[in-house]
Structure 1
Amino acid sequence: MTEAEDPESDPRWDAVRAAARRRVPTPPGLVERVLRAVARGRRTAVEVPGESGRLRVTEGVVDRLARTIAADRAPFGVRISAVAVEDGVVQVLVSVRFGLIAGAAAEALRREISAGLSRQLGVASVVNVHVVDVHPG
Structure 2
Amino acid sequence: MAETEEPERDPRWEAVRAAARRRVPTPPGLVERVLRAVARGRRTAVEVPGEAGRPRGPEGVVARLARAIAADRAPDGVRVSAVAVEDDVVQVRVSVRPGVVAGEAAEALRREITAELARQLGGAVNVHVVDVHPG
Q: Tell me the TM-score range normalised by the shorter chain.
A: 0.5 to 0.7
Bigger radius of gyration:
1
Residues of 1 paired with 2:115 and 2:124: CA distance?
A: 10
- Displacement of 1:112 in angstroms is 0.5
Q: How many pairs are equivalent?
A: 101
- The residue number in structure 1 matching 2:99 is 99
- The residue number in structure 1 matching 2:48 is 46
- The residue number in structure 1 matching 2:58 is 58
Matched, 1:36 2:36: no
Q: Is the 8 A contact 1:46 1:58 kept in 2?
A: no
AA aligned opposite 2:113: I
Relative to 1, partners in 2 of residues 1:101 and 1:95: Cα closer, same or farther, differing over 3 Å? same
- Displacement of 1:47 in angstroms is 8.0
- Displacement of 1:44 in angstroms is 2.0
Q: Deviations over 1:44-79 (max 9, x none)?
A: 22389xxxxx96312211111100000100001100
AA aligned opposite 1:134: V
- The residue number in structure 2 matching 1:7 is none
Secondary structure, in 3 states, of the residue corresponding to 1:114? helix
For structure 1, the 5+ residue unaligned runs are: 1-14, 16-28, 49-53
Secondary structure, in 3 states, of the residue corresponding to 2:92? strand
- The residue number in structure 2 matching 1:71 is 71
For structure 2, the 5+ residue unaligned runs are: 1-6, 8-30
Secondary structure, in 3 states, of the residue corresponding to 1:68? helix
Relative to 1, partners in 2 of residues 1:78 and 1:47: Cα closer, same or farther, differing over 3 Å? closer
Secondary structure, in 3 states, of the residue corresponding to 1:82? strand
Bigger relative contact order, structure 1 or 2, given CA contacts below 8 A and separation 6+? 2
CA RMSD in angstroms, aligned pairs only: 2.7
* TM-score of the superposed pair, with normalisation by structure 2: 0.65
Relative to 1, partners in 2 of residues 1:37 and 1:127: Cα closer, same or farther, differing over 3 Å? closer
Q: Is the 8 A contact 1:97 1:135 kept in 2?
A: yes
Residues of 2 paired with 1:58 and 1:91: CA distance?
A: 16
AA aligned opposite 2:130: V
Percentage of identical aligned residues: 65
- Displacement of 1:36 in angstroms is 3.2
